[in-house]
């Protein structure tokens, strides 16, 4: 059973500095279960605070499911896990209307998607029709059954996983669905010392599961998301984002560059990254930090590049090297704030 600690005092309206403090406390607690992956946990929190959904693509056994379950525990959110399989049907996700002979009418029975945090495990193992069942939920925060719309709880986040191997019997996510994930992340193997720590901690606690403390409530997490919306974005930074996206569209080695949704996604991710850095304004460095995980999965490679196994992130890094970054401007002035931006 999860024990509770006193969470930070986060009122209905919070300052960006409160967001950064609570975020560090969340990551500190998550690191009790996920060893040596603070950068990944940081990016996950960026995605959640930006109000987006996250796709983890990595090899089996690298703690993707553990990260999602642990995040739900630490933020005290309702958690649902959906194991995607070839025989899964949309109603298994969204729920369905069941006829009640006693009343002579249908009663809606919610599916597992009606949770604050939904883990879609191995999402590419279900057929496209089933994958599409989560599209409305991800974009509209609602599910429509028999012409009736049912709102999803707030906050609402989908964390999906897929493996880059064992592609037999899988259905690659179409571009339209990939575009609805704010970030695509990879966990990677742990360092040798971190993996040794994982083993020794497992021996010491004498049980499989680790008990994590609640750091913030779902209501407090939603207040943190609202605070991110107050982070200032200078026009020059917005133009920088547009310039990066436009560079991907002009690249002849890509069939399709990032869409306007990608530009908006990078804007949201950069604001959340700034908030986690205790800043109430976005810098070009925030944009550069979040560009690859936000834009890479939205690019459609030319067939030749796909056959070569080119990583789409290379095209994002190429755009970052070509598009000049503006100086960092504080909201109250025009002076650069770092040597990198001078």
DSSP 296-313: GGG-EE-HHHHHHT--TH
What is the distance between the alpha carbons of residues 24 and 42, in angstroms, rounded to a whole number? 9
What pLDDT does residue 154 have? 92
Q: 325-331 contacts: CB < 8 A, separation 24 or more?
A: 325/240, 325/284, 325/287, 325/288, 326/234, 326/236, 326/237, 326/239, 326/240, 326/284, 327/236, 328/283, 328/284, 328/285, 329/234, 329/236, 329/237, 329/281, 330/281, 331/232, 331/234, 331/280, 331/281
**pLDDT (tens place) for every residue of the chain, 342 residues total:** 333 334 444 445 678 889 999 999 999 999 999 999 999 999 999 999 999 999 999 888 888 999 999 999 999 999 999 999 999 999 999 998 887 787 777 788 899 999 999 999 999 888 888 888 888 889 889 998 888 889 999 999 999 998 876 555 677 787 878 889 999 999 999 999 999 999 999 999 888 888 899 999 999 999 999 999 999 999 999 999 999 999 999 998 998 899 999 999 999 999 999 999 999 999 999 999 999 999 999 999 888 888 888 889 999 999 999 999 998 878 865 444 443 443
What integer pLDDT is reported at residue 166 of this predicted model?
Answer: 58
| Per-residue three-class SS string for 125-142 | HCCHHHHHHHHHHHHHCE
Say what the pLDDT of residue 342 is. 37
Contacts of 323 (CB under 8 A, 6+ apart): 240, 243, 244, 247
* CATH number for the segment(s) 16-223: 3.40.50.300
Domain segments of the chain as ranges: 16-223, 231-327
- Report pTM: 0.87
Q: How far apart are CA 210 and CA 97, in angstroms?
A: 38
pLDDT at res. 187: 93
CA angle 294, 300, 305 (to 5 degrees): 115
From the candidate CATH numbers 1.10.287.70, 1.10.8.80, 3.20.20.80, 3.30.1330.10, the one assigned to the domain spanning 231-327: 1.10.8.80
pLDDT of residue 334: 44
């Amino acid at each position: 059973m999860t024990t509770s600690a006193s969470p930070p005092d986060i009122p209905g309206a919070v300052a960006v500095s409160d967001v950064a403090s609570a975020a560090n406390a969340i990551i500190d607690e998550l690191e009790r279960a996920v060893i040596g992956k603070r950068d990944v946990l940081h990016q996950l929190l960026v995605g959640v605070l930006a109000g987006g959904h996250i796709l983890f693509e990595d090899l089996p056994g690298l703690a993707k499911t553990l990260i999602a379950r642990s995040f739900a525990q630490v933020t005290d959110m309702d958690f649902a896990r959906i194991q995607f399989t070839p025989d899964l049907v949309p109603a298994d996700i969204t729920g369905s209307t069941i006829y009640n002979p006693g009343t002579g009418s249908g009663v809606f029975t919610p599916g597992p998607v009606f949770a604050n945090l939904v883990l879609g495990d191995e999402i590419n193992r279900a057929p496209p029709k089933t994958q599409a069942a989560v599209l409305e939920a991800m974009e509209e925060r609602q599910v429509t059954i028999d012409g009736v719309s049912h709102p999803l709880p707030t906050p609402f986040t989908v964390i999906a996983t897929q493996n880059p191997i064992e592609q037999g019997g899988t259905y690659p996510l179409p571009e339209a669905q990939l575009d609805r994930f704010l970030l695509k992340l990879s966990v990677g193997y742990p360092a040798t010392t971190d993996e040794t720590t994982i083993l020794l901690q497992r021996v010491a606690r004498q049980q499989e599961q680790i008990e994590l403390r609640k750091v913030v409530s779902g209501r407090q997490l939603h207040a943190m998301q609202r605070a991110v919306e107050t982070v200032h974005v200078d026009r020059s930074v917005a133009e920088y984002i547009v310039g990066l996206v436009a560079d991907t569209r002009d690249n002849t080695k890509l069939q399709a560059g990032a869409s306007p949704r990608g530009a908006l996604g990078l804007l949201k991710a950069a604001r959340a990254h700034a908030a986690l850095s205790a800043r109430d304004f976005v810098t070009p460095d925030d944009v550069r930090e979040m560009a690859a995980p936000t834009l890479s999965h939205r690019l459609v490679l030319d067939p030749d590049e796909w056959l070569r196994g080119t990583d789409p992130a290379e095209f994002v890094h190429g755009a970052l090297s070509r598009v000049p970054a503006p100086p960092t401007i504080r909201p109250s002035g025009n002076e650069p704030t770092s040597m990198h931006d001078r």
